[in-house]
Structure 1
Amino acid sequence: MTGGSSADSAFAADKNGNVRFDDDRLLIDGVPRVLMCASLFPFRVPRSQWRHRLQAVKRLGYHAIDVYVPWNYHETAPGTWDFTGQRDIDAFLRLAHETGLYAMVRPGPYICSEWDGGAIPAWVATDPSVDVRQNDPGFLDAVRGWYDRILPIIARRQYGQGGPVIMVQADNELDFFSCRDPQGYIGALVGMMRKAGIGVPIVACAGQGDYERAGAGPSGAAPAVNIYQDDDGVGWELQTRYYRNASRGYGAPLIVTETNRRHRTLRRLVGSGARFVGPFLQVSGWDFDYGTSVNNWGRLETFMTHDYDFGGVIDPAGHERPDAADARRLCAIIDALGERLATAEPVDDDPIGMDASSDAGGGEDGRSGGERESGVRNADGSLLDPDGQRIAVGELALGGGGRLVTITNVSDASATLTLADGMTLSVPAGAGLMAVRDLPLNGRLTLAATDGELVRLDEHRATLSAPTMIPGTVHAVLRIGATNGAEAAVSCRTSGDVVADMLNGRVDITGTEGEVRLVRADGTEYDVVVTQPERAVPDTATSSGGDESASRGSGSCGTVALTDVETGIAQPEWVVACDGSDEPRSLESIGVYRGTARYRAATGGETALGVVLRNAADIVDVTYGTARTDRLATGQSATWIRFPEPASGDEITVHTGIWGHCNFDDSRLDALRLSAGRGMDGLLLVQREIDCGDGWIISDGRTDANDGPVRFGPAVGRRPGPRSSFASRSTTVWPNRLTYTTALHVGSVDAAMRFDGIRCRCDVLVDGRSAGSATPWQPTVWLGPIRNGSVLSVVVWKTWGEDAGRPMLLVGRNVHGWTVASWDYDQLEQADRQCRYTTSTLPINVPDGGGVWVRVASDRLKAACDGMNTVVRFRGSHLQLTAVTDRYRLGRVVLGGLPGTGFAGGHGDYLLVPEDAGDLRVYCEATAASGGRLDGVTLGGPIDLRRR
């Protein structure tokens, strides 16, 4: 497929013509554009602060925002919709338009975004009749209900119709998911969008760069790509050019929907031909309500924190981080070059013409840092200087003439580069530079070279106030941003003699703070040195709503450590969802989609070593008689929990808490599937633990290697097969698959099997029936009922001789007759309203089995407020904190961690309380059987107080 082919007609042109793709160009009102886009999610910022965040983006110089719209945030229960207040996406898009920002809207149905279930409602994702994210009528019918409500809002907020929306994304990162028919699925979504009146370009984002698997092209969606690499890598330029050419093959510009946040890196994308660059996540926020999710980051199962912050240029409280200056510089360069940059083409030959030298000083060979030797070009396009420092270089031929050279020093020593025309560029270690060369200005003046950066260009200045100049003689007004020290060198060429006599053959310079007015002279080259303070970079903050930044603080206020808080006791009421059911069921199957659940069943008083829970998630603890376990995080198909000591009782209770539904899809752990429910659906009361390490018959072993199978014959008649300890057979061929079989003589019982120390995969069968697979992440397999003489077979898969572990048979009784009750934020807030508070001195002990409320009055919060929010940090151990205020359901924080999981996505140790929230009330629950303790509460201070 080539650029400009008929294949692009399905998505390239906006129906009303205001926004369209033309080969590799993004045109708005017919004007080619390069746009910087910041992620800004209204569901992660209080509504009272929406305008401020939009203005913060505008002050950076960014041109657009990308906006996820989570389905399950607006459909709050099956068939219940909410687009008011905090959820008023129409009002948010209207504010974006008023601020002067464009918007790319991403309504899913799946958005990822580390949000609960990736925004697919739990009642849809866990419905066994629905094939999620497939070209499936059941799923598409559910999506249609969502689209029928969200698409009309987006349609009326399109650019050219009174709104900011210039692009809409169908689904998100589909190439991460095993979609069987990506073109059909995305095509169905695009069809719904077009029918609803979406006329702007529709894109399909390739999270891993696979345009076809992401559904782009024939589906009617243009390709877009996420590019994530090491900021210090040298391959950004080639990677960008690769995807630029790939996008052009679809008749589309390079749309980078997500990428790294560092502006030195973003320069490299812009300087290699990207037309739309959307670093994720430049505007941080936090997860209200139960927006937190379970992910597969870092370790296999990770809980997302209350705050949502990956170090973006705007922190969760709305303050700028140091990278803001680099953001303004990059956006100023883009705006100065305008259409020249938006129509630029990557240079295909080797025009750099550079020599490189290091400024690192003399080495062992005695060479000094000032000596210049020719640089070496690497296969990845980078320049290798004589000291081995890597310099990444990209070059664009600008529309209308001239070059933009983007130089990035990813090494740890400064380097000096000499352009072919003799201009010397000094690039400090870790720095970047976008240098303009041979840029025609008004057809008569040429900016030959500069070691600074062009941050303003006005070619049509008509008048000057300087007495030595004649009005109408100015051909360009430039602003050069210095990159190394306080000065920038500028070399210009002029032609003709229109004003030569008047100016006596010289370039006149007027203005201050780095603004340089270049006037045509007599064709001679001139070097001009210009002072450039940082404040001279243009301030792009313009908004019809006014600038709220000045009085909003800078994240620099001090902290106040509280010595006392108000406390009270009031427990949320349990709402019975399932009374006396024979088998426990997942919470979603009985209409519980978030909150805390309690499973309770009568037992016969037998003594037990522990329990095996089937499909339990996300947070679990067990009480049986006098035995009480600590809370742990689990998402396994079967979880073995040993009691501190053998216990007995007449009743067993299991508490499960929903942290969130997985926002990804990972088959290594049952709860990491998009379709996985929460709660539990089985409990084995374990009475015996039997070592099964010996007495296994080896049979039907084979390998998938090309060297042929390794076979051990089974026992036939009087010919015995080999018998040995479990997984002990040696082989010379890898990988291999060996089957170990034994007979069970334990009576008729219910059972599970645990593989202690497993490091490979073991498939377990009972009497030929598959019971599941044990892995290092799920070492326990639920067997169910077995009889005396049942045949147990384990297929052991080894790649390089990994340990299969020690098999332990857990036998006992499957418990029946369960009652299930739950509570959610509704019940929690009812308890809050009933609570009576008294003053208590810190620290505060929280006993196991019941929560303690802690209240911080609004006047104390306001006294520590910095701008629009108060940071509230907690110190303590073995506590889960759930916070509400008069206006917000803020979210949760865990102190001391939870066995079985880690926390990611932010700091995880604080709450951010908006200035209009009222009193802060925190429900503190112990996560350890011995109880928990709240040692301290600190108010105020910046978000980054404890960043490492």
Structure 2
Amino acid sequence: MTLTDGLLVIDGEPRVVLCASLFYFRIPRSQWRERLEQVRTSGYTAVDVYLPWNFHEITPGVWDFTGERDVAAFLDLAAEVGLLVVARPGPYICSEWDGGALPAWLTLDPDLRVRQHEPRFLEQVARWFDQVVPILAVRQLGDPLGTQTTGTGAGGTVVLVQAENELDFFDCHDRTGYVGALRDLLVGHGISVPVVACSGQGDLHGATGDAQGVAPACNFYPDDTSPAVESEVLRYTAELAARGLPLLVTETNRLHTTLRRLLVSGARLLAPYLQASGYNFGATPSVGNWGDPGSFMAHDYDFAGYVTPEGTERHGFLEAQLLARVVATLGPRLAASTPATGAATEVEHVGFPTSDHLAALDLAGDGRLVGLPNLSTESGTAVLRAADGPVDVEVAGMQCALVLVDLPLAGWGRPETLALASADLVGVREGVTGLQVELVSDSATTVVLSGCGDDATVDGGPAGDVVRLTLDATRPSALVTTAAGRIVVSLSTVADATRHTAPVDARRSRHEAAEPSAAEPGETGGTALGLVPLPAARTTPAHLYDDVAPSTHGDRAPTLESLGVYRGRGRYRTTIDASAAEAVLLVGASDIVDLRLSGAALGTTDEVLPSVARFGAAHLVDLGHRHGEVDLTADVEIWGHANFDDHRLPALRLGSLRGVGEAYAVESVIDVTAGWEVATADAEGLSGDLAGDVSAPSAPSWPGRGPRPLRTLGGWSSTRLGAPLAYARSVVVPHGTRAALRLHGQTRPVHVAVDGQPPVLVHPVDPWLVLPDAPAANGSGAQHHLAITWPHDPSQPGMRAEILALRPLTTWEVAPLTEHSLDEQAAARRSGTVVDLPVELAAGDDLWLDLDVPASPTGLRLQPAGHQVRVTAWLGGRSLGRVWLGDQARPVVSGGDPESLWTPDVPTGSVLTLLVHGTAGDLPPRLDSVALSAP
């Protein structure tokens, strides 16, 4: 495998490679071969495979490459099936996976900086690469050890290894050093195939650091209806060609209309992300920024790829076969083609919304492939110029026709030229009746052959040197006889030319709006099994922490990760004097925090509060109705760690940890909306972007000379729109307390400088800032100087500001509960009480629910229904995941179906175990039903 002269060359031949994501860690091992064979049957010739670090290093220093984690076996199966492999070992993978695959314990080291050219992090990466890269090295294409090591006789098929992932999204301080260090680790373990690094937003240097020996690749995620796709992609094709490299698209959308547009724009590797869907078992989904701004990733990892998580197929599977046959038919002619200079001049008129630049490829050995995308939902007609006059080409809505122009048939031993073909050319071969030219389209198709000779005939009738054929359902083929022999031109429909290899999916993915109908005419999807029989439900109260010994902490609440909980949950307890505190402030609490207040000694009842899932944003717990000692219990559950680095909320930061966060008793609240001095940003000692140019030449300084005016926060008026303006004042808090600034009505990010220190950005989604300890004090307390700066905009409302006096809550009891411990509890035998569904429970309570389920060799889709409940499911010792139903406190859940779970291979006698947690809200918690369906 080489990348040279703008070509992707495998075994000495230029290739265009169609590649589908297929993630072994999201598919049960029992279905690995089946899914790999599906990809191969789709016509794709490669799979890209992430290798998640934290899937294999279970706890620090404990590695597992067996069973469901046996990636070597997966790679060997790929080789047996005949698929090439693009291996992506990270160390960071994103992939909406817990922490982007970075182990949660890494950032317990305060000096370790993830994804940086930094020795502590690179030392940890080296440990991971020591384990995983040798597995890849002996499975490289052409590796002499491959056949012996794999034991399959197939040899290895790893053709590319990707270092890192979309580094251009991340603030890496030394990109060249970091990517170069990863390259050295890979090469040091014997990687000899090309090493690539992909850009996520088009910054090739940002992705690679231009490290020597690392080829840039591109991830494109355009709007499928954008007219600018070709223009953008062609720019990268040209840039990479100038470096002697092909355009490798390591991720993109799944719609084959878009893939065709990328193909005619010069892509040599086309790897639509998640073309084969998967499922996040256990507690492996991430927390990400696909919400408002935060989101939980669903366990259902389905972005409308051509294979569903269960293994059923969508219409895209058929479109894949068509595109693959076009690629295979044109072979090296396509793989060694070059983008045409300028727009496709063969196109005279386009009668539908299309690209702003119609891309075409000049094929090796002559001929051209023109892309005609119809970006509307209705069929339309384009007019192309052919040897014997104009040709109408019908293009269905949201399809991209690949029109061949002036393709010599010399490569198949014939002197004629395929002057134009308006349908997909899926085969050219010599048959017993002559040269077979096979086309596929559901529309009427025009074919023009030139160089046929004056005596040429069509179906026995005279035709001449240039032959024009119109093929459709009434005339699907024609026999052209020339001096050189016979040519049979045939047209097939998509249905006749393609085939499904598995049941067709009847469910519509939430991402499928741009796809054709998921179910084909006359075909059905899953067979509903109905509701679980009510007598099969057995309930047992769940006391999750009864056997967990808590530890006491006297300085602050520890993170769950510091207690060895990398996935799981924990119970935090502390006591507050409600007589001296009016509220509790939680800062950084994440992911799901269930709060309970109790004070039975004073005759008050326990109060279960609505769940908090705000990604670490500051949260106030009101104590105004309480008096005396109050016990605060916070049950904290990890949904996942951030897979992306987003600084708008604490828990969205890559490497952020989980727990109750920082907790403070709020002893007083002071309104500080008024009394702010107005000054320019530079007058407040700010510089650079915050200061800006706020004074006109030869004009007085702004906002004026002399004493600074006093205004309410945001109350200054001026014509200088967009100029940075600072509001400054001092605040005093009681001795022995901390302080927090709270901004009400904040609509824009602002910079807050405290006591002359560098400014901190405060975002409207979390309009709080806990201030550091005050550097000075007077008789009335400790003093802080604040300066808040933002671009002046009189159309925006002002803000109300408060200072809260805080006293840290430092004494905690914490009971950690790891994912493994919870799995053990779920597997325990329970007799239970037989009940009918629906099942009601009190807010804050947990209930085990065991249900007998029917056998299903193809697995079951589970659809719990209810309100104010969170449900965690297990079957056959496998943790299936969690759903959160009917609760306004639930954040956005992105990805696939947020309220269904899936289990593979359900044997006879299986028991589905549910852990149902009741949450506080408008309705009493209730699980109504659990519906099952099988593909």
Both proteins in one fold, TM over 0.5: yes
Partner of 1:920: 912
| Whole-angstrom distance in 1 between the partners of 2:227 and 2:751 | 43
User: Are 1:394 and 2:359 an aligned pair?
Assistant: yes
The answer to whether the Cα contact below 8 Å between 1:285 and 1:307 also exists between their aligned partners in 2 is yes
| Whole-angstrom distance in 1 between the partners of 2:317 and 2:47 | 16
Structure-2 change in CA distance of 1:746 and 1:129 (3 Å): closer
| Whole-angstrom distance in 2 between the partners of 1:348 and 1:770 | 51
Partner of 1:481: 440
Partner of 2:687: none
| Whole-angstrom distance in 1 between the partners of 2:645 and 2:932 | 38
SS in structure 2 opposite 1:420? strand
| Whole-angstrom distance in 2 between the partners of 1:792 and 1:630 | 34
| Whole-angstrom distance in 2 between the partners of 1:39 and 1:216 | 26
Within-5 A mapping of 1:389-468: 393-421=358-386, 422=389, 423-441=391-409, 442-458=413-429, 461=430, 464=432
Aligned-residue Cα RMSD (Å) equals 3.2
Once the two structures are superposed, residues 547-589 of structure 1 have per-residue CA deviations (whole angstroms, 9 ceiling, x without a partner) of: xxxxxx9633124023523322233236346423322122223
| Whole-angstrom distance in 1 between the partners of 2:455 and 2:7 | 37
User: Are 1:823 and 2:784 an aligned pair?
Assistant: no
The answer to whether the Cα contact below 8 Å between 1:758 and 1:805 also exists between their aligned partners in 2 is yes
| Whole-angstrom distance in 2 between the partners of 1:538 and 1:202 | 35
Structure-2 change in CA distance of 1:92 and 1:815 (3 Å): same
Q: Find 2:275's aligned residue among 271, 279, 282.
A: 282
Structure-2 change in CA distance of 1:773 and 1:575 (3 Å): farther
Partner of 1:582: 555
The answer to whether the Cα contact below 8 Å between 2:752 and 2:789 also exists between their aligned partners in 1 is no
> 1:744 corresponds to which letter in structure 2?
V
Q: Find 1:641's aligned residue among 612, 618, 621.
A: 621
Partner of 1:739: 727
Within-5 A mapping of 1:777-926: 777-783=765-771, 788-799=780-791, 800-801=793-794, 802-803=796-797, 805-832=799-826, 833-859=828-854, 862=855, 865=856, 868-897=858-887, 899=889, 901-916=891-906, 918-926=910-918
Cα distance, 1:404 vs. partner?
Answer: 1.1
Structure-2 change in CA distance of 1:252 and 1:126 (3 Å): farther
Partner of 2:585: 612
> 1:904 corresponds to which letter in structure 2?
S
Structure 2, gaps ≥5 residues long: 147-154, 503-522, 599-605, 683-689
SS in structure 1 opposite 2:238? helix
Once the two structures are superposed, residues 609-657 of structure 1 have per-residue CA deviations (whole angstroms, 9 ceiling, x without a partner) of: 3211132211123323244321111233643233584454343222222
Structure-2 change in CA distance of 1:351 and 1:121 (3 Å): closer
Partner of 2:55: 73
Within-5 A mapping of 1:463-612: 464=432, 474=434, 476-484=435-443, 487-495=444-452, 521-522=482-483, 530-537=490-497, 555-562=525-532, 564=534, 565-573=537-545, 575-576=548-549, 578-604=551-577, 606=579, 608-612=581-585
SS in structure 1 opposite 2:635? strand
Cα distance, 1:607 vs. partner?
Answer: 5.6
Cα distance, 1:399 vs. partner?
Answer: 1.2
Partner of 2:136: 154
Cα distance, 1:212 vs. partner?
Answer: 0.9
Structure 1, gaps ≥5 residues long: 1-18, 359-384, 467-473, 543-552, 943-948
Structure-2 change in CA distance of 1:541 and 1:604 (3 Å): closer
Q: Find 1:345's aligned residue among 338, 348, 358.
A: 338
Give the stretch that moved more between structures: 213-222 or 692-701: 692-701
Partner of 1:104: 86
| Whole-angstrom distance in 1 between the partners of 2:897 and 2:87 | 28
The answer to whether the Cα contact below 8 Å between 1:609 and 1:642 also exists between their aligned partners in 2 is yes
The answer to whether the Cα contact below 8 Å between 2:251 and 2:271 also exists between their aligned partners in 1 is yes
Cα distance, 1:740 vs. partner?
Answer: 2.2
| Whole-angstrom distance in 1 between the partners of 2:655 and 2:479 | 65
| Whole-angstrom distance in 2 between the partners of 1:274 and 1:830 | 49
Cα distance, 1:692 vs. partner?
Answer: 2.5
Cα distance, 1:896 vs. partner?
Answer: 2.2
Structure-2 change in CA distance of 1:516 and 1:159 (3 Å): farther
> 2:725 corresponds to which letter in structure 1?
R
Structure-2 change in CA distance of 1:720 and 1:245 (3 Å): closer
| Whole-angstrom distance in 1 between the partners of 2:28 and 2:279 | 9
Cα distance, 1:796 vs. partner?
Answer: 2.2
SS in structure 2 opposite 1:776? coil
| Whole-angstrom distance in 1 between the partners of 2:99 and 2:661 | 20
Once the two structures are superposed, residues 897-920 of structure 1 have per-residue CA deviations (whole angstroms, 9 ceiling, x without a partner) of: 463731101111101111247422
> 1:438 corresponds to which letter in structure 2?
D
SS in structure 2 opposite 1:167? strand
Cα distance, 1:836 vs. partner?
Answer: 2.6
Give me the TM-score of the superposition, normalised by structure 2.
Answer: 0.86
SS in structure 1 opposite 2:41? helix
> 1:80 corresponds to which letter in structure 2?
V
Cα distance, 1:437 vs. partner?
Answer: 1.9
Cα distance, 1:767 vs. partner?
Answer: 5.3
Structure-2 change in CA distance of 1:534 and 1:405 (3 Å): same
> 1:285 corresponds to which letter in structure 2?
G
The answer to whether the Cα contact below 8 Å between 2:844 and 2:919 also exists between their aligned partners in 1 is no
| Whole-angstrom distance in 2 between the partners of 1:644 and 1:477 | 84
Cα distance, 1:746 vs. partner?
Answer: 4.6
Cα distance, 1:481 vs. partner?
Answer: 0.6
Percent of residue pairs identical: 36
Cα distance, 1:711 vs. partner?
Answer: 4.7
Give me the TM-score of the superposition, normalised by structure 1.
Answer: 0.85
| Whole-angstrom distance in 2 between the partners of 1:692 and 1:609 | 18
Structure-2 change in CA distance of 1:628 and 1:811 (3 Å): farther
> 1:533 corresponds to which letter in structure 2?
T
Structure-2 change in CA distance of 1:447 and 1:649 (3 Å): same
| Whole-angstrom distance in 2 between the partners of 1:219 and 1:578 | 51
The answer to whether the Cα contact below 8 Å between 1:332 and 1:537 also exists between their aligned partners in 2 is no
| Whole-angstrom distance in 2 between the partners of 1:502 and 1:876 | 67
SS in structure 2 opposite 1:224? strand
Once the two structures are superposed, residues 292-311 of structure 1 have per-residue CA deviations (whole angstroms, 9 ceiling, x without a partner) of: 11111132111111111111
Give aligned pairs, total.
Answer: 861
Partner of 2:709: 722
SS in structure 1 opposite 2:207? coil
| Whole-angstrom distance in 2 between the partners of 1:103 and 1:410 | 32
Structure-2 change in CA distance of 1:696 and 1:746 (3 Å): farther
Cα distance, 1:784 vs. partner?
Answer: 6.0
Structure-2 change in CA distance of 1:538 and 1:660 (3 Å): closer
> 1:738 corresponds to which letter in structure 2?
A
Cα distance, 1:541 vs. partner?
Answer: 7.7
Partner of 1:10: none
| Whole-angstrom distance in 1 between the partners of 2:37 and 2:137 | 24
| Whole-angstrom distance in 1 between the partners of 2:576 and 2:242 | 67
Q: Find 1:262's aligned residue among 252, 255, 263.
A: 255
User: Are 1:29 and 2:11 an aligned pair?
Assistant: yes
Give the stretch that moved more between structures: 772-781 or 233-242: 772-781
Cα distance, 1:886 vs. partner?
Answer: 1.7
| Whole-angstrom distance in 2 between the partners of 1:914 and 1:413 | 39
| Whole-angstrom distance in 2 between the partners of 1:506 and 1:523 | 15
